[in-house]
Amino acid sequence: MNEAKLASFRHLGVGQRLTEAVKELGILFPAEIHCAGIPPILKGKSLVLTSHNESVGSFTLGVLTYLLPLIQRLRRDAKLSSEEPKVPRAIVLCATKELAEKLLTVVKFLLKPVKSKTTVEDGQLESNVQEDASDASVGLLVTTPGEVLQKIEEGSVVPNEIRYLVFDEVDDIFNHGLGPEIQKFLSPLKEHASNSNDQSVQTILVTSMITKVLREDLSSLVEHLESSHAEVAAITVEIDQTEAFHLLESPEALKKKAEEVVHSLQPSS
């Protein structure tokens, strides 16, 4: 699909400040994965998120799909709250420290103060930096499963205060043998969810599992897409809290879900 024909980030619901930050990254138009993922995340939906189009598979492009709406929702929460968050309300988990540090670089860029245009106020020229109090600490933590468990023990992360969860490339997290750490981390969240009427934790599972399953069995689907001059560039699947917890139990559960999604894409006989 031609990028010029896609909606702008503003049309997707992204605020002006974040849109300007994205422009500074040299990204003028959203890719298919942004169009598919950003609107439902802004609405508070939990998702399984994947991209099948290698041309939009760069690291920064991919993580913007959840970072933009996540930061915007955290800023909104901060404005509605009477006090600054003392502990993280959003956790992004990565398989390795290196990936977490790479992701944190993007987060810091998106949160950096934005210089305003020169304005006249009370007869004086001013060129101030626009910065909300929420920018100082929007309550976003990018880390690994092992590190977040340590922070829970230290008390700097409180499971009951978490409102947003992102597992960036959950496949890699499982492949690094971090399944037990994930279950230990999720245990108090599951307990809190079962004993509370509070809102559920919005959960985003970024995975390449659907793409892998697509590649394993593409014959009839590819034939159908080619005949209709279409392609699968990005896929999002809405899930609820219970299903999110289930999909995080094992790579087998995630693969089964991916197979169900691919099966739903197959042309009916």
pLDDT in tens, the chain (269 residues): 334 345 799 999 999 999 999 999 999 899 988 999 999 999 999 999 986 544 444 788 889 999 999 999 999 998 887 777 789 999 999 999 999 999 999 999 999 875 544 333 443 434 343 433 334 468 999 999 999 999 999 999 999 999 999 999 999 999 999 999 999 999 999 988 887 776 689 999 999 888 777 776 655 555 555 454 445 567 899 999 999 999 999 999 999 998 888 877 766 55
Query: Which pLDDT value is given to residue 180?
Result: 96
Question: Of 134, 151, 222, nearest to 185 (Cα)?
Answer: 151
Query: Which pLDDT value is given to residue 78?
Result: 87
- Residue 203: enclosing H or E segment and its boundaries? strand 202-206
- DSSP three-state, residue 249: coil
Helices marked H in 25-169 — which ranges?
32-42, 59-80, 97-111, 133-136, 145-154
Task: Give the count of beta carbons closer than 10 Å to the beta carbon of residue 243.
Answer: 17
Query: Which pLDDT value is given to residue 65?
Result: 95
Map tokens 């910065």 to a residue: 131
Helices marked H in 81-178 — which ranges?
97-111, 133-136, 145-154, 170-175
Whether the model pTM is above 0.85: no
Look at domain 3-79+87-110+137-265 and name its CATH class: alpha beta
Q: What angle do CA 28, 32, 37 make, to 5 degrees?
A: 100
Query: Which pLDDT value is given to residue 44?
Result: 95
